[in-house]
């Protein structure tokens, strides 16, 4: 049984200062996928590297203090793929893939559209290009586990106030339709596979005491190829972990 955690840490150095490493040791996942690491590996203390899993793969953004993803694993992957081959996304460190036998685990960080129309357009371009990338990839890698921050709430159940946020980036009709189509192309939203209940979120604004009031958004996912459905055992959100404005989520899968 493999435990795979996905976590947007909103800066790994900040998360470490809030007890991330001790939490990971206690939780003991087999694979950890981080997003928004906001650091180069050489910027981290030696202790951080020593306490992480034996096999660590970093894909930071070219711009310091911004974006970036990482994968840490107890077992050495057969292959690690950095980026998707499109420079404007790869410069921002958005996609990292590790292959373990016939299963591929990806840490992905989708763009946010919160900085205005230019970045929203960039986000739409990314959505189109990511779909094409995955459609091509799954021809040779048929068992994909996509872990990460998609910066999109799929349905009304996934956001605390769907009416007020109807025109907010991250909950726009076009974005939500993209997830619909992506899932129909052969993927399972693992959390919703097991849990249909409302009020389950993975991100809360720092404003207005949102986390304490559970006024959140579910924008982080494990999306798994349909071919792995029978191997899924559990998928949960872990809101008690408070090292970021996001919380981690975990999927357990029989590999």
- What is the sign of the dihedral through the CA atoms of 192, 168, 13 and 36? positive
Q: What is the CATH number of the domain that holds 163?
A: 3.60.10.10
pLDDT at 49: 87
Name the strands in the sheet holding 31-35, side by side, starting at the edge strand that comes first in the sequence.
Answer: 55-59, 69-73, 31-35, 2-8, 249-253, 232-237
- Cα 14 from Cα 177, distance rounded (Å): 34
Domains contained in the chain, number: 1
- Cα 94 from Cα 12, distance rounded (Å): 15
- Cα 240 from Cα 251, distance rounded (Å): 16
Tell whether pTM > 0.85: yes
Banded model confidence at residue 51, pLDDT cuts 50, 70, 90 = confident
Domain with 88, as residue range(s), is: 2-253
Q: Which of 158, 139, 229 is nearest to 193 (CA)?
A: 229
pLDDT, tens digit (0-9, with 9 covering 90-100), for 62-76:
999 999 999 999 999
> Looking at the predicted structure, is the pLDDT value of residue 134 above 90?
yes
Q: In terms of residues, how long is the chain? A: 255
CB within 8 Å of 43: residues ≥ 6 apart: 13
pLDDT, tens digit (0-9, with 9 covering 90-100), for 171-203:
999 999 999 999 999 999 999 999 999 999 999
Count other Cβ atoms within 10 Å, centred on residue 40.
15
- Cα 53 from Cα 34, distance rounded (Å): 13
Cα within 13 Å of Cα(19), Cβ side: 7
Residues belonging to the active site: 149
Is the distance from CB of 40 to CB of 60 less than 8 angstroms? yes
């Amino acid at each position: 049984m493999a435990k795979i955690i996905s976590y947007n840490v909103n800066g790994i150095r900040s998360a470490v200062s809030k007890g991330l490493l001790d939490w990971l040791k206690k939780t003991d996942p087999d694979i950890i996928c981080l997003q928004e690491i906001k650091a180069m590996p050489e910027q981290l203390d030696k202790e951080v590297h020593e306490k992480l899993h034996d096999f660590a793969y970093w894909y930071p953004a070219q711009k310091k203090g911004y974006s970036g993803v990482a994968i840490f694993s107890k077992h050495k992957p057969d292959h690690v793929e950095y980026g998707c081959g499109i420079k404007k996304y790869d410069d921002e460190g958005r996609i990292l893939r590790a292959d373990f036998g016939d299963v591929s685990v990806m840490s992905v960080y989708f763009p946010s559209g919160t900085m205005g129309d230019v970045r929203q357009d960039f986000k739409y371009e990314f959505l189109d290009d990511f779909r094409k990338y995955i459609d091509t990839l799954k021809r040779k890698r048929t068992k994909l586990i996509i872990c990460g921050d998609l910066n999109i709430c799929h349905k009304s159940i996934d956001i605390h106030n769907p009416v007020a946020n109807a025109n907010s980036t991250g909950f726009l009709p076009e974005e939500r339709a993209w997830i619909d189509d992506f899932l129909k192309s052969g993927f399972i939203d693992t959390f919703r596979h097991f849990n249909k209940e409302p009020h389950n979120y993975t991100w809360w604004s720092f404003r207005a005491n949102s986390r304490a009031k559970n006024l959140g958004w579910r924008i982080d996912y494990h999306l798994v190829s349909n071919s792995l459905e029978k191997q899924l055992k559990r998928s949960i959100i872990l809101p008690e972990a408070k090292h970021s404005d996001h919380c981690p989520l975990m999927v357990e899968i029989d590999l």
